[in-house]
Amino acid sequence: MTKETGAGVIAVDGPAGAGKSTVARRLAAELGFLYLDTGAMYRALALKALHEGVDLRDEAALASLLSDTTIDLYPAPEGRVRVIVDGADVTDHLRSPEVNASVALVAGFASVRSEMVSRQRDMARQGAVVMDGRDIGTFVLPDAEVKFFLTASLEARSERRCQELTRLGYDVSLERIREEIQHRDLLDSSRPYAPLAMAEDAVLIDTTHMEVNEVVARMLAICRHRLG
Ligand SMILES: Nc1ncnc2c1ncn2[C@@H]1O[C@H](COP(=O)(O)OP(=O)(O)OP(=O)(O)O)[C@@H](O)[C@H]1O
Ligand SMILES: Nc1ccn([C@@H]2O[C@H](COP(=O)(O)O)[C@@H](O)[C@H]2O)c(=O)n1
């Protein structure tokens, strides 16, 4: 049991393309937990801001937009998540190159993060959740019973993301993806408010040379040992 949440809260942090979402939803399914993708919440706000022509450098405008936006995460088959914004399903639009290029800017503002963190803590209050992002183990849910920090080489993360976007039908180059990931990593780790960071009590897993099943198996064994 944790101060701010019920029993069974697992945090999964790490940089872009490390494999967080893929393994976190598999882990949640194996444990019968709810999977909460906090990155999808920031992506949803960036998508709405792009759609409504809001200046992505205007913190007040973005904070006001968020205060007038509902973002709901619903479980979907295979542990996936449907993202509903103001009642509309936007899931399939959250990983476009435009959103990828904008989300870290939107997520960098303290007033945006403060509201997002408040909503994320509310989502975790009942416990039995696996929550992934950049600041979960260090800031959003510091009392989580189990914390993981996934990483991988820039090359591996770039190749994975490039293959993923190509499969989704986007016309992207490995070089452009590498640059986007490097830029997003810099923004995510250098922001003053709740930056990308590894919690001191997190288990570090470098997935560069690991298969998805191997990563999930290792995390599941640790969770079952820690949670009993
Ligand atoms: N261990 C792995 N080996 C090979 N491919 C992987 C591995 N883990 C994840 N992938 C693939 O890499 C891509 C990115 O994975 P995923 O979206 O889970 O990363 P992420 O850390 O959540 O990234 P982001 O934070 O940008 O959402 C996906 O296509 C996924 O299938
Ligand atoms: N807890 C979080 C989660 C995400 N972000 C920002 O959103 C971007 C997209 O996240 P993905 O996991 O979907 O790639 C990410 O690069 C961060 O800029 C965040 O700030 N905090």
Question: Per residue in 132-189, pLDDT tens?
Answer: 999 999 999 999 999 999 999 999 999 999 999 999 898 999 999 999 999 999 999 9
The answer to the question of whether 14 is labelled as a binding residue is: yes
User: What pLDDT, on a 0 to 100 scale, did the predictor assign at position 5?
Assistant: 55
Neighbour tally for 1: CB within 10 Å: 10
- Which of 21, 219, 220, 36 lies closest to 127, judged by CA? 36
Tokens standing for 53?
């022509």
Domain membership of residue 71 (yes or no) is yes
Q: Report the C-alpha gap between 114 and 63 in whole angstroms.
A: 10
pLDDT at 4: 52
Minimum-distance ligand 1 atom for the alpha carbon of 150: 21
Q: What is the pLDDT of residue 2?
A: 45
Report the distance separating Cα 151 and Cα 2, nearest Å.
26
22 annotated binding-site participant: yes
Q: Let me know if residue 49 belongs to a domain.
A: yes
Q: Considering the domain boundaries, does residue 3 fall inside one?
A: no
Query: Strand runs (DSSP E) across the chain, as ranges?
Result: 9-13, 34-37, 71-75, 81-85, 88-89, 129-133, 146-151, 203-206
C-alpha distances out from residue 52 to 48, 55, 56, 64, Å:
6, 9, 11, 13
Ligand with smallest separation from the Cα of 132: 2
Predicted confidence (pLDDT) per residue in 88-120, tens digit: 999 999 998 899 999 999 999 999 999 999 999
State the pLDDT at residue 6.
Answer: 56
- CB-based contact 101:46 (threshold 8 Å): no
Which pLDDT score is estimated for 47? 98
- The parent domain of residue 215 ranges over 9-221
Is 228 labelled as part of a ligand binding site?
Answer: no
Judge whether 108 lies within some domain. Answer: yes
Q: Is 212 in the pocket of ligand 1 (CB under 6 A)?
A: yes
Residue 226: inside a domain? no
**Domain tally, the chain:** 1
Residue 69 counted as domain residue: yes
Report the pLDDT value the prediction gives residue 48, as an integer from 0 to 100. Answer: 98
pLDDT band of 76, cuts 50, 70, 90: confident
Q: How many residues does the chain have?
A: 228
23 CA distance to ligand 1 middle (Å): 8
Per-residue pLDDT averaged across 61-70, rounded? Answer: 98
Which CATH number is 182's domain given?
A: 3.40.50.300
Question: Cβ-count burial of 198 within 10 angstroms (0-12 exposed, 13-18 middle, 19+ buried)?
Answer: middle
How far apart are the CA of 228 and the centre of ligand 2, in A?
A: 30
Residue 7 and residue 82 in contact, taking contact as beta carbons nearer than 8 Å: no
Nearest atom in ligand 2 to the alpha carbon of residue 108 is 20
Q: Each residue of 189-225: pLDDT tens digit?
A: 999 888 999 999 999 999 999 999 999 999 999 999 9
Rounded to two decimals, the ipTM of the complex is 0.97
Residue 53 domain flag: yes
Residue pair 138/197 in contact (Cβ under 8 Å)? The answer is yes
Mutation test residue for ligand 2: of 111, 188, 189, 198, the one with most atoms within 8 Å of CB: 188
Question: In this structure, is residue 13 part of a structural domain?
Answer: yes
Q: Is the pTM of this model over 0.80?
A: yes
Atom of ligand 2 lying closest to residue 135 CA: 1
Amino acid 216: pLDDT: 98
Residue 228: what pLDDT?
Answer: 83
- Note the pLDDT of residue 78: 72
**Ligand lying closest to the C-alpha of residue 19:** 1
C-alpha distance across the termini of the chain, in Å: 13
DSSP-derived pairing of the beta strands 81-85 and 71-75: antiparallel
- Residue with the smallest CA separation from ligand 2 atom 2 is 133
pLDDT tops 50 at residue 1: no
Residues 6 or more apart whose CB falls under 8 angstroms from that of 27 comprise: 10, 12, 33, 35, 130, 216, 219, 220, 223
Q: What does each C-alpha distance from 24 to 10, 30, 55, 96, 148 come to in angstroms?
A: 9, 10, 32, 21, 10
Q: In the structure, what pLDDT confidence band is assigned to residue 79 with cuts at 50, 70 and 90?
A: confident
